[in-house]
Amino acid sequence: MTKPNRILMTGAAGIIGQQIRDGLRELATHVRLSDLADPGPAGPGEEIVPCDLTDTPALPGLVRDCDAILHFGGVSTENTAELIHRVNIDGVYHLYEAARKEGVKRILFASSNHAIGFHTRETRLTASTPVRPDSNYGVSKAYGEALASLYWDKYGIETLIVRIGSCFPEPKDRRMMATWMSAGDMLRLIGCMLDAPRLGCPIVYGVSNNDECWWDNSETAYLGWKPQDSSARFAHLFENDPPEDPKDPAVIYQGGGFAKAGHFED
């Protein structure tokens, strides 16, 4: 594909948005940045369009004239069921509806490892593995994946579903040594998404080339994405951590603490 004229990134002020923002300028002529929080001033080739995902009438204007949407916005961790439903379920539905009506044909949906968090760590997962959410947040991501599938089958809107592991500047704990994804590998994946002549609606595990990994992306190898970074260089950060308890639900399940935690509102 030719270089997109304009792409929209929601959640521009979030952890992932801040890490990849500068690199997006290499992938599109114009980058529209949106968030409720202030992402800072616009740089060259950027425009800032604040928008609340629950403000349904504003969404068509947000996506208008965009060739692609990178949807990183929404509630990014466990929270009340009401808030997650309003933002991550209703909000993503209305975003897809705005995209359909405005003719946007390609979306990246930031799903999460928490959509499959109740699979055990010794279980190797592929794109065909059924969802097994570990939280209300994980359920909202499973919903988004199903919605993306519907809008591809029924309306021809292509979506790259990325089950993101842990996209931080560096791993925060031993578990993230297996789930970590670098900003560089995220940008390379976005580049593959934008360049693919035919995308479809694939599920990709957003993880770098780590020594330990629970996920297999071979079913979506047609995208040509090959992560180049590894968490190995951070191993020294956890050398003195105590041994993990093999009976701890946070160790048994891929979702870690999300799988172990009780109901958020109790």
Determine the average pLDDT of the residues in 85-93: 98
What is the rounded CA–CA span in Å between residue 250 and residue 224?
Answer: 33
Q: Which helix (H) or strand (E) holds 203?
A: strand 203-206
Count Cβ atoms below 10 Å from residue 208 Cβ, excluding itself: 22
Tokens 């957003």 belong to residue:
206
Determine the average pLDDT of the residues in 232-254: 97
Average pLDDT of every residue of the chain: 97
* CA dist 156 → 15, 193, 201, 213 (Å): 30, 16, 10, 33
Whether 33 shows a pLDDT value over 60: the answer reads: yes
High-pLDDT (> 90) share of the chain, %: 99
Confidence of residue 3 (pLDDT cuts 50, 70, 90): confident
Determine the average pLDDT of the residues in 202-217: 98
Model pTM score: 0.97
Instruction: Just list the catalytic residues.
Output: 137
Q: Do residues 237 and 174 touch, judged by C-beta distance below 8 A?
A: no
Determine the average pLDDT of the residues in 195-207: 97
What pLDDT does residue 1 have? 57
Q: What are phi and psi of 174, to 5 degrees?
A: -65, -40
Q: Which domains does the chain have, with CATH numbers?
A: 6-260 (3.40.50.720)
> What is the β-pairing status of strands 46-48 and 158-164?
unpaired
Q: Read off the pLDDT of residues 210-238 as tens digits, 9 standing for 90 and up.
A: 999 999 999 999 999 999 999 999 999 99
What is the rounded CA–CA span in Å between residue 150 and residue 43?
Answer: 36
Determine the average pLDDT of the residues in 236-261: 97
What is the rounded CA–CA span in Å between residue 113 and residue 166?
Answer: 8
Q: Do residues 60 and 101 touch, judged by C-beta distance below 8 A?
A: yes
Residue 22 in tokens: 């500068």
